[in-house]
Amino acid sequence: MNNNIYNGPQAQYIPQPVTEKVREKPVYSKAEVILSVFVFIAAFCFMRYVVFHAMGFITTGLYIAIITAAIIYLRKKECSFSRFNKVLTGVLYAFTIVFSITANNFIKTLDALFLFGAGAYLIYSVGADNKNVERFLPFALCKAIFEYPFSNFEKQATITSDSVSKSKAGSNIKYIIIGLIITVPLTAVVASLLMSADDGVERMLTTIFNRIFHEELWNIILQLGLAIPCSMYLFAMFYTNTHRDSVKTLDENACKMSLFNIRFVSNLIVYTAVTPICILYVMFFISQANYFLSAFTNSLPEGFTYADYARQGFFELFAVALINLFVLCFMSLFSKKAGREKTKALKFYSIIISVFTIILIATAMSKMIMYIDNYGLTELRLYTSWFMVLLAVTFVMVIIKQFKFDMQFAKHFSVMFTIMFAILCFSRPEALIARYNIEMYESGYLDELDKNTILSMSDDGLLVALNEGEVTAEEVNDHKDELYQRDSFGKYNISALLVDSKTE
């Protein structure tokens, strides 16, 4: 028998059986299925009651529901809450109240961003079983907000598809949707022909069409469309932090190496570059001493009005403070000898720049206080002053860090920022502004009260003005309907309800 069929130059090729690659089944539990449904509903509500509409009690309830669901899911996945994570959870619950106590949309927007970042970090922190704020907080935030959610971004779609295919009811719904998609074009053609054939049918179908396809329906469709990627992001955030086998956890040594690798600038170059800046500051203070230090004595330099003096000096110094913050960050990150190897010279320059900046901020704040004493408070003056104080405290912490390297900067900065942000949110800035201006006017320090500015405020400011009798219910009613925060769900907060009770 000829064996060339198996070997030799003329051997015949025997095809091997092709093994079909089996699609890997998603691994999930009942908790993931329930979470998937909840997250989609929450994402739609977020789009509707946070992004598209002004926010109030509904938004507070939505955030409370999301935080509570996160706690239940994490507990279900046997994640433990350290004392630090419990405190962070309490902070999140507290900041949800902001939406109900203020009508200021700017503050609500800032609060929504804070809750998003802090909430993502909470889920990450619980999954990592953190006992405190990480030393390398920026790296942790990048993982919590970007890396982890997008690493399993498609997971919700995969789990949903697999759940639907296993369920008879799900399969039936799928077939119904396919049937509706097929019949839509045919139904449209038939309806068009019937409308052309009979005026009565045309009026009836037109009425039905207008009732169904009104503007709000298109808003809902858009919100549903945006809710899908938002839901996938949120689900992936929950899922990844409870299934960390497929992702890289935060490694302090890797973070140290990353920081070490970007240190490419010679310290001598840094000293050479920063020295002229420091000399310039010294010359600047000497030459402009009378001009800038007039702010501390509440006296005006010759040729200036209060408005020109405060406005010009404040924003110039504000820009310099931001530049100095950038210079400090550059020095700390890119100098070859930084971190534990930080030289005494680099520490000295860091302290000098910080001290100069604090003096500049103090001068700028003195100017702003002088301006406020003569012209009253506005939102811009209040917000910029708050930010300048935040910068000043940050530079003080930088100085302390130069003497105490083991100081946990991320932890102390996080606590300080949270306290400062809480003061901003819970003080209800527009109510504070209106009350201050009214008191200054009644005391004779302000020549006139700008009622138009108060009437253009949210209900926070309007409520104070109504209580003080500086505006009437008729004046408020003439203006409040023009404000965005009076639309739709924006009136579901304490200030709006109290204004409504006083203007009905």
Q: How far apart are CA 282 and CA 112, in angstroms?
A: 42
| pLDDT for the residue numbered 162 | 76
* 352: number of Cβ within 10 Å: 17
Return mean pLDDT, the chain: 83
The SS3 of residue 287 is helix
Kindly give the parts of the chain with pLDDT less than 70: 1-27, 54, 164-181, 183-184, 188, 191-202, 205, 208-216, 287-314, 480-490
The model carries a pTM of 0.83
Q: Give the pLDDT confidence score for residue 288 in this predicted structure.
A: 62
Rounded CA-CA distance 307/484 in Å is: 30
The pLDDT score that the predictor gives to residue 29 is 79
User: CB-hemisphere CA count at 13 Å for 186?
Assistant: 5
In eight-state DSSP terms, residue 129 is T
First to last CA, the chain: 108
Burial per residue of 104-122, b for 16 or more beta-carbon CB atoms within 10 angstroms, e otherwise: beebbebbbebbeebbbbb
pLDDT at position 355 is: 92
Query: How far is it, in rounded angstroms, from Cα 140 to Cα 110?
Result: 21
Query: How many residues are there in the chain?
Result: 504
pLDDT value at position 211?
62
pLDDT at 286: 75
Give the bridge partners for 265, in sequence order. Answer: 335
pLDDT tens digits, 89-142:
999 999 999 999 998 989 999 999 999 999 999 999 999 999 999 889 999 999
Look at residue 6 in the predicted model and tell me its pLDDT. 44
- Structure confidence at residue 393 (pLDDT): 95
pLDDT of residue 282: 82
pLDDT tens-digit readout, 193-230: 666 666 666 677 677 666 655 656 778 888 889 999 99
Confidence (pLDDT) at 142: 94
| Structural tokens at position 347 | 């520490």
Return the C-alpha torsion angle 52, 53, 55, 60, nearest 10: -60
Per-residue exposure over 154-170, b if at least 16 CB sit within 10 Å of its own CB, e if not: ebbeebbebbeeeeeee
**Which H/E stretch holds residue 104?**
none
